[in-house]
Structure 1
Amino acid sequence: MLRWRHCVTIGLAMLLVACGVTSDSQDPAARADAARLDVVFSAQTRVWQDKRRAELVSPDGWLSLIGLHRIELKSHFIGSGQAAGIRLSMGPEKLGLLQSDDGAYWFTPERGVVVTLDDVPVRGRVRLLSDADASPSALGFDAGKGALSIIERGGVAFVRARHEDARTRTRFTGLEYWPTARDWQVDATFEPASAGATLPIANILGMIEDMPTPGTVTFERDGSRYALQALQGGDDTLFLIFADRTSGHGSYSAGRYLDAPLPDDEGRLRLDFNRAYNPPCAFTAFATCPLPPAGNRLDLAVSAGEKAYRPPPPPTLE
């Protein structure tokens, strides 16, 4: 009997070793270290989530958008009144006259309406710069609560309108996330693209633009290899637009965004999918979000990061 028990003990020990479970993994100190790492990582992720929310709900954040109006004529009267060619949902009934010619834009405020250009009060006709210029103009109204700007997408110009009192901002319901998990931090490698390489990127309006790509990020998950074609982000980031098996099934249907650090000299970097976030068009109908390129649709359920937004119910009619 003792010999039989001894054999069983040896067999169980061999099985535990084969499965990667050793006495070290049961060490209280190791468990405590892992728990501390989880706490620190969760705290760091929470800081990022709080910053993300603050930027979203800021007075000039994406939630403040109230309109996106295509500039189709040489002249458009702008205002909230019924006679306006570009009709705002908020603001003065008559705001002023927008004129355009060969990619140049001018604005003349309505008599008696207080308007600012980059926070400086204006009285007469002023030149407006678009986001294709180095320093885009911001035309303020409603005592600074509202703002107009010119954006260009795919060779088409639009007036974008914001207002601090936008319903999407004042009725914001908050962000939801999958539970933070360190195993959704994955090591990746970067493969640079050839000089001048571009990607065709469609936006939510159906326009397609060829955008420069610095290269491709590859990583492994559960024994499978995946690749994401990158766009240039900020000074120290790559910008990844991806869809996955959760798109439309827990996360935003059109995909999500992820900012990744630039690779080191050996092409190594780390992706943290806990910081995947929704594009602006998940919150407003007035954004022009770029969508995932064809190669960035992962056959993988990325159950990490930001979940689909639940907007507030529409206002009731009294």
Structure 2
Amino acid sequence: MTVQDTPADLHAFTIGWEEWHTRQEGRLAAPHGFLAITGLHWLGEEPQRFPDAPGAWTTGAEGVVVVLDEGEELVVDGAPVRGEYRFGVLPERGGVNAVWGDAVIEVAKRGGHDIVRPRHPDAPLRTAFTGTPAYPPHPRWAVTGRYTPFDAPRPTTVGAAVEGLEHVYDAPGRIEFELDGRELALTAFPGHSPGSLLVLFTDATSGVTTYAANRALALEPPAADGTVVLDFNRATNLPCAYTDLATCPLPPAENRLPVAIEAGERIPRERGGA
């Protein structure tokens, strides 16, 4: 028995994982989290109205515009707006959250397309949510790898949960690691905070006990010598695992691991998971 396999250490490891998973579930099921989304609306040059958002919406060379009817109001950056409001040209993977009563209207760009994605706290998917099934955590799935940066970030095109949509990421490097005696590697994308990394992957459990399209693993910035910990116990589902109203990226081809990662989040109950 190794030190990390002693009952006390296993208990501490499990408690740490449970605290992390509770925070993860809290973000997902927040009043305006991904489970609160009620529509995915693709904008064009012709004005469109939607049942779950106010106003008439268009987009063009100068960006997204909404024209609100008399009596309608959005709050953008803390300021109420009425009539015509111009959101302007949005950056890829960027967006603005406009408040409408107790709802938030997400205005964003995904895969080069402008979208409106309302989020309502009383969305049935959110109110019926009972949590995400996951494998019991175990230290054997937390492995140390080595990150090697590319000479320059490599533009990497991947598919999306929405058919025909593509995402492009500037991959900064590659992570090599060993699991059960097998040498494996993953292309890494930039994470949400400076220096952090994100890997999207599938494995032999995908479509069996874990969501078929993808899972994600957020990583802390590598150490000065390139070492980085991949704790697959913290592999999470992306929003597309729960709802068709998401535009999540798929993993690059080289991130399809030929081993079974029996760790992390499993198929959501919303998709028939146990």
Question: Residue type of the partner of 1:70?
Answer: W
Residue 221 (1) aligns with residue 179 (2): yes
- Contact 2:62/2:88 (8 A) holds in 1: no
Correspondence list, 1:80-159, <5 A: 80=51, 88=52, 95-129=54-88, 131-132=90-91, 136-141=95-100, 143=101, 145-159=102-116
Correspondence list, 1:214-293, <5 A: 214-234=172-192, 235-293=194-252
Match of 2:170 among 208, 212, 227: 212
Question: CA shift at 1:134, angstroms?
Answer: 10
Match of 1:59 in 2: 31
| 1:169-188 per-position Cα deviation (integer Å, ceiling 9, x unaligned) | 01113111101101111111
Whole-angstrom distance in 1 between the partners of 2:218 and 2:61: 35
| 1:6-63 per-position Cα deviation (integer Å, ceiling 9, x unaligned) | xxxxxxxxxxxxxxxxxxx5xxxx8798222111111111110010011011112110
Match of 2:155 in 1: 198
Secondary structure of the structure 2 residue equivalent to 1:112: coil
Q: TM-score, normalised by structure 2?
A: 0.91
Secondary structure of the structure 2 residue equivalent to 1:196: strand
| 1:127-157 per-position Cα deviation (integer Å, ceiling 9, x unaligned) | 224651898432222x2x2222322223222
Question: Residue type of the partner of 2:268?
Answer: Y
- Taking only the aligned residue pairs, the percentage that are identical comes to 32
Match of 2:126 in 1: 169
Whole-angstrom distance in 2 between the partners of 1:229 and 1:33: 30
Match of 2:15 in 1: 43
Whole-angstrom distance in 2 between the partners of 1:303 and 1:192: 28
Question: Residue type of the partner of 1:248?
Answer: G
Secondary structure of the structure 2 residue equivalent to 1:137: strand
Match of 1:186 among 123, 134, 143: 143
Give the total of aligned pairs. Answer: 270
Structure number with the bigger relative contact order (C-alpha 8 A, sep ≥ 6) is 2
- Contact 1:173/1:312 (8 A) holds in 2: no
Whole-angstrom distance in 1 between the partners of 2:225 and 2:235: 25
Question: CA shift at 1:73, angstroms?
Answer: 2.5
- Contact 1:247/1:254 (8 A) holds in 2: yes
Query: Cα RMSD between the aligned structures?
Result: 2.2
Match of 2:256 in 1: 297
- Contact 1:129/1:137 (8 A) holds in 2: no
Question: Residue type of the partner of 2:99?
Answer: G
Secondary structure of the structure 1 residue equivalent to 2:107: strand
Question: CA shift at 1:110, angstroms?
Answer: 1.2
- Contact 2:70/2:83 (8 A) holds in 1: no
- Contact 2:145/2:230 (8 A) holds in 1: yes
| 1:99-145 per-position Cα deviation (integer Å, ceiling 9, x unaligned) | 3330422222111234322343223222224651898432222x2x2
- Contact 1:236/1:262 (8 A) holds in 2: yes
Whole-angstrom distance in 2 between the partners of 1:32 and 1:134: 40
Unaligned runs of 5+ in 1: 1-24, 81-87, 314-318
Secondary structure of the structure 2 residue equivalent to 1:197: strand
In the TM superposition, structure 1's runs of 4+ consecutive aligned residues that sit over 6 Å from their partners are 30-33
Larger helix fraction of residues: 1
Residue 72 (1) aligns with residue 44 (2): yes
Unaligned runs of 5+ in 2: none
Whole-angstrom distance in 2 between the partners of 1:312 and 1:223: 33
Whole-angstrom distance in 1 between the partners of 2:159 and 2:42: 18
Larger strand fraction of residues: 2
